[in-house]
Structure 1
Amino acid sequence: MRSNQARLNTGNVVPLIGLGTYSSSYDGETTQNAIHMALKMGYRHFDTAKIYGSEPALGKALMEAINNGVVKREDIFVTSKLWSSDHHDPVSALNQSLQNLGMGYVDLYLVHWPIKFKSWAEYPMPNEEDFEELDLKTTWAGMEKCLELGLCKAIGVSNFSTQKLQHLSDFATVSPAVNQVEMHPMWRQNKLRKYCEVHKIHVSAYMPLGGPGNFWGSTSVALRWGIQKGASVIVKSFNKDRMRENVGALDITLDDDDMINIEKLVEEKILRGDHLVNKTTSPYRTVEQLWDDEI
């Protein structure tokens, strides 16, 4: 029987297909309806973040489902993320997220970006005056405290390059369980995936379908590629037919020729992070510096 989950270095398991809850035109009721649909289709992994604004709607829908006996809390996997303005106090930030969710813990808490903003910058597009110097050692100590207090089952990072993971390993008492990054057939993350495999860090792919067009095949093919590479995939669609098609990726297999042909595609990163780069206040003067030339 084919497994639909991966085991983390904590011993916990993560479902291989997750539903992302970010939306550029956020609507709580639409999100709640999508969560209920997803549960009926078999989704058990749900991805949110403080900056998405979707924690309250996600929590409400999941708690309704739990209270109605549709699913048990231990059978769902909830991921949230530390926003860049909260690096000074991850414990308080996670407590706020848990209050938004109406839950006692999340299964995974991630550092959203390797960048720190001043505490007032609770918005996605920073101004030049919003940046602060990142002290990752202090941030990670706060993440480890979240784990120690039982506010989460695992901690990890997002948008970290190989070099930034190596820097983290210099002082981390607890190794990150997950690195959530952009990954799809046209941005394959070969170097990063090799590093993570050696160091037992699970890769979770956002934007796993890549850009518009999907000329390598169906969306299921793109998702299956990521799964066969050992990643979990976070898909962001509230369309019922697309949601069903996405979860169908668990039921197909790509053969060696498929995988080889995908390796031949020209790579292009979509989310470059240009908004986190400037010449004066950001710790990253160029996009290449943000990703340590893994771009």
Structure 2
Amino acid sequence: MSAGAPLTVPMPGKPYPTVGLGTFTIFEKTGGAEEVYNAVKVAIAEGYRHVDCAFVYGNEKAVGDAIKAKIADGTITRNDIYITTKLWDTHHNPDHVEESLKKSLRDLQTEYVDLYLIHWPFAFKDGDELFPKDADGNVIFADHDYVDVWKAMEKLVGAGLTKAIGISNFSKKQIERVLEVATVKPSNIQIEIHPYFLNEKLVAFCKQNGMTVTAYAPLANPSRTWKNAEEPIIFDEQVLKDISSAKGKSIAQVVLRFHLQRGIVVIPKSITPARIKENFQLYDFELSESEMQQIAGLDRNMRFYKEGIAASHKYYGFHDEF
């Protein structure tokens, strides 16, 4: 293991593995649960001990089935695997938060998760319709304050339903509001981070306030369905090709290692066994300070995950500087 990239970082409950398997959009691209099930099984067999999912991804049952299978075959115990899932926007009513997690637990087939996150700071209309819309096709908002949601999240820790709680896609101002009232402080924040969007100010703020930071879309997800033709692709960047060639590693491995050396947890997504294996092989090399600076030079403050359907919600956080 090279310096600057620990296998785990401290978290309430148990250590948090610095590389996990992301599962966002697997359903969207494939249309079935089998790919998720197989990807999680392959990842665990290759040494992953961290799986990230969410209620809205619609894949908690497949993730739970795969984990159950790997427990049954003796590869892992429940305590060996770190499971993260997330509270969806339509379940922000504080009276509904616990039941939403319990639904996730039933699908994941576990008595607790290791980390439970508020997926977004804004709320949609209460209910089980993930994206409730009006006659004009606009998402119907709800007015639940994320501070009240946080207070409901804290109760889940006391009930033993989750070991740690955190947030996702919150801005600095929103985090400050949570911190002002929190009796259990957020342990983690999950945010968009990749070479085109280092998100440095928010990363620094969260670390200063005792949060681990997890990067979603760490490779900038070039296969995202909403990508514009003019937007760059990290796999085309000459600087990354050069470093990759010099290290004898793939561009994906170089970028993921870059995040690890910044002290950031990564959750790359793949359903391809070879790539799942490759994305975990990050601890046997190290980037120099010069290489780190070259990669950081790709930053364009370019956010790809804007969730524009909620841009007019009063708790939409991306209008803030960071």
Which TM-score tier does this pair reach, normalised by the shorter chain?
over 0.9
CA separation of 1:58 and 1:211: change in aligned 2, threshold 3 A: closer
Q: Aligned pairs, how many?
A: 287
Other-structure match for 1:55: 60
Residue of 233, 241, 249 corresponding to 2:266: 233
1:86 aligned residue (78, 83, 91): 91
Give 3-state SS (helix, strand or coil) of 2:35's partner: helix
Q: In structure 2, how many angstroms separate the alpha carbons of the residues matched to 1:240 and 1:205?
A: 21
Alignment partner of 1:148 is 2:158: yes
Q: Which residue of 1 aligns with 2:309?
A: 275
Structure-2 separation of matches of 1:291 and 1:70? 45
- Trace 1:156-175 onto structure 2 (pairs within 5 A): 156-175=166-185
**Residue 108 of structure 1 is aligned with which of 115, 120, 130?**
115
Does the 8 Å CA contact 2:90/2:124 hold for their aligned counterparts?
yes
Name the amino acid aligned to 1:290.
Answer: F
Distance 1:36 1:79 in 2: 16
Contact 1:45 1:77 in 2 (8 A): yes
Counterpart of 1:274, as a letter, is G
In the alignment, which of 227, 233, 253 is matched to residue 220 of structure 1?
253
> Secondary structure in 2 aligned to 1:260?
helix
- 2:18 is the alignment partner of 1:43: no
1:32 aligns with 2:63: no
1:196 alignment partner, SS class: helix
Which structure ranks higher in relative contact order (CA pairs < 8 Å, sequence separation ≥ 6)?
2
User: Deviations 1:118-159 (Å, cap 9, x if unpaired)?
Assistant: 113632585535201231221011100111100001000001
Aligned to 1:64: 69
Residue in structure 1 matched with residue 225 of structure 2 by the alignment: none
Contact 1:16 1:232 in 2 (8 A): yes
- Using a 3 Å threshold, how does the CA distance of structure 1 residues 187 and 233 change in structure 2: closer, same or farther? same
1:17 counterpart SS class: coil
User: What's the CA shift string for 1:51-109, capped at 9, x where partnerless?
Assistant: 00110000011011112211111110000000001111211100000011111000000
Question: Whole-Å Cα distance in 1 between the matches of residues 163 and 206 of structure 2?
Answer: 20
**Corresponding position of 2:138:** 128
Superposed CA RMSD in Å reads 1.7
Poorly superposed stretches of 4+, deviation over 3 Å: 124-129
Work out the CA distance in 2 between the residues paired with 1:206 and 1:244. Answer: 18
Measured in 2, the distance between the counterparts of 1:117 and 1:102 equals 27
Q: Give 2:69's aligned amino acid.
A: E
In the alignment, the residues of structure 1 paired with residue 200 and residue 60 of structure 2 have an alpha-carbon distance, to the nearest angstrom, of: 32
Structure 1 unaligned residues grouped into runs of 5+: none
Q: TM-score, normalised by structure 2?
A: 0.85
Using the alignment, how far apart are the partners of 1:269 and 1:160 within structure 2? 14
CA shift for structure 1 position 266:
3.7
C-alpha separation between the residues in 1 aligned to 2:319 and 2:170?
A: 7
| SS of residue matched to 1:109 | strand
Residue 9 of structure 2 is aligned to residue 6 of structure 1: yes
Which letter maps to 2:78?
A: R
Change (3 A) 1:207 1:143: same
Identity over aligned residues, as a percent? 35
* Conserved? CA contact 2:125–2:132, under 8 Å: no
Inter-partner Cα distance in structure 1 for 2:269 and 2:63: 13
What's the offset of the Cα at 1:188? 0.5
Q: Is the aligned partner of 1:204 residue 2:204?
A: no
Compared CA separation, residues 125 and 178, structure 1 to 2 (3 A): farther
Distance 2:106 2:53 in 1: 14
Matched with 1:265 is 298
Distance 1:80 1:129 in 2: 23
